[in-house]
Amino acid sequence: MPRFALKIEYDGAPFAGWQRQADQPSVQAAVEAALAKLEQGVPSIAAAGRTDAGVHALGQVAHCDLTKDWDPFRLSEALNYHLKPSPVAVVACARVSQYFHARFSARERRYRFRLVSRRAPLVFDRGQAWRVAHGLDRDAMQAGADRLIGRHDFTTFRSVQCQADSPVKTLDALDVETCAYPGGTEYRFHVRARSFLHNQVRSFVGTLERVGAGAWSPDDVSAALEARDRAACGPVCPPDGLYLEHVVYQDAPFA
């Protein structure tokens, strides 16, 4: 069966996450329903990351096995037609080998988190970024972020529901960028690692926001990490501002 890789963009607000669920809408179910319009009996698709409820994607990657050897462009056009009106789009499609697996072949996952500091509520970015009404110190947040880089036991920064076999992960980068925003400032957290624990990025950002607000110091971040205790984590931020931005493979399927 020909295998195809799909690069998928979606607004996570109306979904209970990527993974198919029996009684709630999911992105996976929306894509599989579109595939079923093209071919019957398509096997379940696999994705690079199981994003949580409300989390968005700019570059989620999934793969599917079909019986017909579709032209990739026509396949993406057909899927986008059947995905309407869901806020999901296939932005690229490529024929790949049977050895390609969207999840297990991934070398790195990159997330972006958008945090906006301004007094006024968000209008156009409502549901697309986390707003706080107070000012933040970017340098302090970067100093706290630097304490998290490297290979660590991240028990403090993972959900109690996390199903990963081990809390030990290697964080390759956590960079804090500032951007102009009407009436305030936008802070973008760029996070890179081969894989992540459940709620890890949101736990990082929620903790670093406390550093930026002056309630925590960078040393407090180190102490929380060394505690290896979920109770030592700062507040977990909402999913609104989190985006799965890019997935890296040895052989880039969409190059």
* Local confidence pLDDT in tens for the 255 residues of the chain: 899 999 999 999 999 999 998 899 999 999 999 999 999 988 899 999 999 999 999 999 999 999 999 999 999 999 999 999 999 999 999 999 999 999 999 999 999 999 999 999 999 999 999 999 999 999 999 999 999 999 999 999 999 888 889 999 999 999 999 999 999 999 999 999 999 999 999 999 999 999 999 999 999 999 999 999 999 999 999 999 999 999 999 999 998
Same structural domain for residues 126 and 57?
A: no
Backbone φ and ψ of 117, nearest 5°: -105, 110
Residue 70: which residues within 8 A CB-CB, separation 6 or more?
Answer: 2, 4, 78
Q: Are strands 130-132 and 106-117 parallel, antiparallel or unpaired?
A: parallel
Do 139 and 96 reside in the same domain of the chain?
A: no
Would you state the pLDDT for residue 250?
94
- Predicted confidence at residue 113, as pLDDT, reads 98
Residue of 11, 23, 52, 69 marked active site: 52
Task: Flag whether 254 is in a domain.
Answer: no
Residues 55 and 120 in one domain: no
Query: What pLDDT is recorded for position 51?
Result: 94
Give a yes or no: residue 252 inside a domain: no
Nearest to 193 by CA among 111, 76, 92, 93: 111
Q: Are residues 212 and 125 in the same domain?
A: yes
Considering the domain architecture, whether residues 20 and 141 belong to the same structural domain is answered as no
Asked if residue 100 and residue 120 are part of one domain, the reply reads: no
Residues 10-20, buried b or exposed e (16+ Cβ, 10 A)?
bbbeebbbbeb
What is the structure's pLDDT at 255? 84
41 and 139, same domain (yes or no): no
52 is catalytic: yes
Task: Give the domain range for residue 85.
Answer: 3-104
Looking at the fold, whether 70 and 122 belong to one and the same domain comes out as no
- The CATH number for 90's domain is 3.30.70.580
Query: Does residue 159 lie in a domain region?
Result: yes
Dist. CA 92–CA 242, nearest whole Å: 21
* Predicted pLDDT of residue 197: 95
Say yes or no: 136 and 192 in one domain. yes
